[in-house]
């Protein structure tokens, strides 16, 4: 019985011998495309190499293994054209440099190193292949098992199913963004994406002979979309296979070190990879800031109990295919005491003009990207909020107080203020590091005219904001001088002419708003580029004509 248990343990453990060398072929394909826009087209990476492994130290529970890469081939295409990465001699040599890692008999990978002299993208490339060996060995044909796993993306719970098929163990596992305890990149949070990863490892003769990974990343923060939100978003799909194991002759059996730490002390260029030595707490600040509800300064409301008060509001949707949607809310308020009573005890009136811009891009929300108000009034002889203010993302960037109450016409023009709101993160995807970003650049300038006459309450307030929205989004990766991905660019300009006025001589109130938008254009392209050239193919190309809209033009008597 004791012998049987020992044999069983041997079967359920990965075993490697000192000075053993073996090779595996690696292939991967990584594609970026836009989903939900009724269009076809993608950018794809095709990557292959030979991964050479040598066992340097063997211990009872783990082995120190060195991995080098040979015959590295990298291709990128933009649907119509393909290019090969022309590796320099220095790059070829860097891929050949070994990185080291400990491989436990239960399939856990830990303490991965990198070469400080090599480019970061080459170290990431190697770490991605090492992650293909990560697994957990356990009893087959039992209930799913759950383990905490650390890899290039971070630390997460992973759900394993182990089955015996003849002489082989088939280990499948899955995890998603909700399983993460921490991400290796502190800019990434669970609210920014949907990540689904499926792994399959085949174990035979106490070692992994085949590894498959499929990964899908939906870059969006809106899981349950309302009917007006843009449906289109960027998706990354990645697949890899590590197989065709071959036992080969070791390149160099001489390893004069008793431990990995001895090697690191002797060669300062070999260092532990930070993401495999420490964890980063999950960051939720980026999107939680964007989605924090609060009272708006960009929308009109009647203060107190001014008996004759009217709010006029209209929202203009600017829809850009299924990619983006901007909602511009324009409103005004005019209120006076019934009968235009001008006694000091009961003076109550308000004139105001307001605007608010909410933006939705690639299924990310940027509420209250811009808020503006300009108003003047009194409530029972006490002044209200008498001035103008511009906010970007609920943060004031410009304030003005109306000082002149001299019944004269005044004009003020405010230079444009600019704000950038974006979601941005880097995420390891197999052997590449994917850079994703989506956002808007907003520039706002205002012209204001006012005439406020405190003696007879005649008031005139006109604001004309000029708004420029520039949209951007991309999913891309770089390997040396070769960069490829998909990229969104576009934007538009618009202006709003809002007027609110009270004429107490005629006991009349009037408000109006007119909206004008310049031609709108948005382009999404798949591309690859080097230092010498750039090749791009349009996936989406949208152009909309100029529009002028009368929103409202209303007057009433007090």
Average pLDDT over residues 407-413: 83
Would you say 508 and 460 are in contact if contact means Cβ atoms under 8 Å apart? no
Check: CB of residue 43 under 8 Å from CB of residue 30: no
Write down the pTM of the prediction. 0.84
Distance CA 544, CA 143 (A): 57
At residue 499, the pLDDT reads: 82
Split at pLDDT 50, 70, 90, the class of 123 is very high
Please state the rounded mean pLDDT for residues 211-224. 86
With H, G, I as helix, E, B as strand and everything else as coil, classify residue 335: strand
469-498, pLDDT tens digit by residue? Answer: 888 999 999 998 899 999 999 888 888 888
- Helix, strand and coil content of the chain, in percent to the nearest 5, comes to 10, 60, 30
**CA pair distance 190, 246, nearest whole angstrom:** 40
In this prediction, residue 360 carries a pLDDT of 82
Give dist(CA 163, CA 394) in Å, integer: 55
Give the C-alpha separation, 371 to 383, whole Å.
Answer: 22
pLDDT tens-place string over residues 265-314: 999 999 998 765 433 222 223 333 333 333 456 566 777 666 667 788 88
269 or 448, which is more confident: 269
Q: Other CB atoms closer than 10 Å to residue 531's CB: what's the count?
A: 9
Alpha carbons 538 and 558: distance in angstroms, whole number: 57
What is the separation, in whole angstroms, between the first and last Cα of the chain? 100
The answer to whether 242 and 48 have CB atoms below 8 angstroms apart is: no
Q: Which residue has the higher pLDDT, 499 or 178?
A: 178
Phi, psi of 248 (to 5 degrees): -130, 175
Per the CB < 8 A criterion, the answer to whether 14 and 27 are in contact is: no
Q: Regarding predicted confidence, which is higher, 376 or 123?
A: 123
Q: What is the pLDDT of residue 230?
A: 60
With bands split at pLDDT 50, 70 and 90, how would you rate the model's confidence at 3? Answer: very low
Give the position of tokens 């436990």: 104
What are the helix (H) ranges across 195-352? 260-266, 285-290
Tally helices (H) and strands (E) across the chain: 5, 30
pLDDT computed for residue 417 by the predictor: 85
> Which tokens sit at 243?
């197989």
Are 459 and 416 in contact by the 8 Å Cβ rule? The answer is: no
d(CA 377, CA 509): 13
Question: CB–CB of 355/343 below 8 Å?
Answer: no
Question: For 266, phi and psi rounded to 5 degrees?
Answer: -80, -30
Q: How confident is the model at residue 550 (pLDDT cuts 50, 70, 90)?
A: confident
Nearest to 152 by CA among 182, 131, 133, 176: 131
pLDDT > 90? residue 210? yes
pLDDT for residue 228: 55
Q: Coil, strand or helix: which one is 350?
A: strand
Of the chain, the percentage scoring pLDDT greater than 70 comes to 85
- The C-alpha atoms of residue 480 and residue 74 are separated, in whole angstroms, by 11
Question: With contact defined as beta carbons under 8 Å apart, do 137 and 14 qualify?
Answer: yes
Question: Distances from the Cα of 176 to the Cαs of 108, 183, 194, 198, 294, in angstroms?
Answer: 19, 12, 7, 9, 32
Distance CA(488)–CA(525), nearest Å, equals 7
pLDDT digits (tens, 9 = 90+) for 64-115: 999 999 999 999 998 888 999 888 899 999 999 999 999 999 999 999 999 9
pLDDT given for residue 271 in this prediction: 93
Q: Which residues pair with 215 in a beta bridge?
A: 197, 238
Per the prediction, the chain carries an average pLDDT of 83
Show the tokens assigned to 365: 């929300």
CA–CA separation, 194 and 215 (whole Å)? 11
Q: What is the mean pLDDT of the segment spanning 416-442?
A: 92
pLDDT for 289 equals: 36
| Contact residues for 411 (Cβ-Cβ < 8 A; gap 6+) | 447, 448, 449
Q: Indicate whether 452 pLDDT > 80.
A: no
pLDDT digits (tens, 9 = 90+) for 312-361: 888 888 877 778 888 888 888 887 766 665 555 566 778 888 888 888 88
* Phi, then psi, of 537 in degrees rounded to 5: -130, 130
Per CATH, the homologous superfamily of domain 2-283 is: Lipovitellin; beta-sheet shell regions, chain A (2.30.230.10)
Domains of the chain, by residue range, sit at 2-283, 287-557
Asked if 377 and 386 touch (Cβ cutoff 8 Å), the reply is yes
Closest listed residue to residue 126, CA positions, set 2, 233, 270: 270
CA distances from 387 to 6, 10, 414, 476, 501 (A): 83, 79, 14, 45, 15
Q: Which two structure tokens, joined as six digits, stand for 469? A: 């929205």
With H, G, I as helix, E, B as strand and everything else as coil, classify residue 202: strand
**What would the two tokens of residue 417 be?**
């203020």
The C-alpha atoms of residue 143 and residue 139 are separated, in whole angstroms, by: 9
Eight-class DSSP state of 6 = H
* CB proximity list for 382: less than 8 A, separation 6 or greater: none
Q: What is the pLDDT of residue 305?
A: 61
Distance in angstroms (rounded) separating the CA atoms of residues 194 and 192: 7
* Residue 341: predicted pLDDT: 57
Q: Quick one: tokens of 536?
A: 């791009």
All residues at 6 or more sequence positions from 41 whose CB lies less than 8 Å from its CB, including other chains: 33, 34, 79, 526, 537, 539
User: Cβ of 6: how many Cβ atoms within 10 Å?
Assistant: 10
pLDDT of residue 448: 83
pLDDT digits (tens, 9 = 90+) for 148-201: 999 999 999 999 999 999 999 999 999 999 999 999 988 898 888 999 999 999
Q: Taking Cα atoms as reference points, which of 233, 202, 198, 228 lies closest to residue 216?
A: 198
SS3 345: helix
Q: What CA–CA distance (Å, rounded) separates 107 from 207?
A: 9
DSSP symbol at 266: H
CB atoms near residue 468 (< 10 Å): 17
Q: How do residues 26-70 score in pLDDT, each as one tens digit?
A: 999 999 998 877 667 889 999 999 999 999 999 989 999 999 999
């Amino acid at each position: 019985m004791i012998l049987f248990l020992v044999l069983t343990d041997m079967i359920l453990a990965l075993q490697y011998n000192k000075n053993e060398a073996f090779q595996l072929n690696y292939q991967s394909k990584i594609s970026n495309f836009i989903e939900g826009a009724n269009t076809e087209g993608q950018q794809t990476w095709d990557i292959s190499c030979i991964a050479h492994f040598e066992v340097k130290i063997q211990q009872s529970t783990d082995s120190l293994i060195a991995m080098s890469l040979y015959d590295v081939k990298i291709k990128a295409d933009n649907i119509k054209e393909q290019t090969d990465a022309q590796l320099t001699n220095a790059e070829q040599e860097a891929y050949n440099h070994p990185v080291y890692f400990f491989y436990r008999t239960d399939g856990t990978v830990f303490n991965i190193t990198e070469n400080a002299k090599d480019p970061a993208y080459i170290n990431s490339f190697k770490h991605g292949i090492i992650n293909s060996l990560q697994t957990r060995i356990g009893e087959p044909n039992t209930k799913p098992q759950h383990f905490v796993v650390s890899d290039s993306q971070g630390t997460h719970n992973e759900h394993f199913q182990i089955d015996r098929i003849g002489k082989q163990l088939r280990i499948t596992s899955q995890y998603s963004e909700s399983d993460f305890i921490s991400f290796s990149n502190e800019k990434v949070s669970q609210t920014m994406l949907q990540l689904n990863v499926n792994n399959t490892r085949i174990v035979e003769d106490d070692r992994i002979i085949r590894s498959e990974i499929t990964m899908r990343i939906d870059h969006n923060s809106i899981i349950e979309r309302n009917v007006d939100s843009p449906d289109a978003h960027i998706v990354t799909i990645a697949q890899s296979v590590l197989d065709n194991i071959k036992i080969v002759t070791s390149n160099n059996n001489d390893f004069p070190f008793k431990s990995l730490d001895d090697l690191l002390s002797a060669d300062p260029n070999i260092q532990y990879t930070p993401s495999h030595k420490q964890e980063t707490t999950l960051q939720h600040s980026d999107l939680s800031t964007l989605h924090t509800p609060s009272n708006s300064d960009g929308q009109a409301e009647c203060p107190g109990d001014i008996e004759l008060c009217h709010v006029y509001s209209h929202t203009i949707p600017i829809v850009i295919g299924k990619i983006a949607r901007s909602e511009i809310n324009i409103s005004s308020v005019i209120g006076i005491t019934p009968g235009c009573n001008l006694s000091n005890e009961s003076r109550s009136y308000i004139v105001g003009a307001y605007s608010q811009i909410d933006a939705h891009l690639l299924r990310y929300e940027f509420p209250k990207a811009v808020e503006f108000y300009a108003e003047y009034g009194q409530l029972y002889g006490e002044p209200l909020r008498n001035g103008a203010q511009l906010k970007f993302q609920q943060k004031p960037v410009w304030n003005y107080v109306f000082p002149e109450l001299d019944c004269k016409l005044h004009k003020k023009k405010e230079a444009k203020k600019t704000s950038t709101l974006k979601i941005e993160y880097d995420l390891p995807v197999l052997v590449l590091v994917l850079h994703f970003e989506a956002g808007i650049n907003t520039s706002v300038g205002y012209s204001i005219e006012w005439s406020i006459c405190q003696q007879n309450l005649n008031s005139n307030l006109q604001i004309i904001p000029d708004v420029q929205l520039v949209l951007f989004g991309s999913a891309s990766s770089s390997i040396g001088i070769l960069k490829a991905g998909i990229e969104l660019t576009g934007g538009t300009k618009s202006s709003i002419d809002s007027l609110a006025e009270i004429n107490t001589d005629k006991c009349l109130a009037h408000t109006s708003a007119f909206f004008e938008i310049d031609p709108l254009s948005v382009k999404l392209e798949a591309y690859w580029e080097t230092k010498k050239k750039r090749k791009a193919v349009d996936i989406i190309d949208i152009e909309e004509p100029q529009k002028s809209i009368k929103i409202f033009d209303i007057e009433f008597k007090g």
